[in-house]
Amino acid sequence: MADLKTAFESAIANSKNLSERPDNATLLKLYALYKQSTSGDNDEKKPGFGDMVGRAKWDAWNGFKGTSPDDAMQQYIDLVDSLS
């Protein structure tokens, strides 16, 4: 568990230093996996249609509902590694 947490924190740092900016779909996936890893299942109120960015983030995070924080951390690490 400690190794996973360390690798996750390292991946977070690495995600800020990627050679090129990922596309929006990948950024949403990174956001969703980060939120699932750190906050668990999405229990926030869904933003209205006027908040398109907030709604996209909410939908992305909600797509990982039921994923354990450890699994989400590993997926985040794997995704950042694939982008490096």
Q: Which fold has domain 2-83?
A: Acyl-CoA Binding Protein (1.20.80)
- Both tokens assigned to 74: 């590993």
Q: Which residue has the tokens 């398109």?
A: 52
Condensed to tens digits (0 to 9), the pLDDT of residues 40-56 reads: 999 999 999 999 999 99
The model's pTM is: 0.92
Q: Are 81 and 28 in contact (CB under 8 A)?
A: no
pLDDT of amino acid 1: 64
- Cα(45)–Cα(73) distance, rounded to whole angstroms? 24
Q: Are 56 and 26 in contact (CB under 8 A)?
A: no
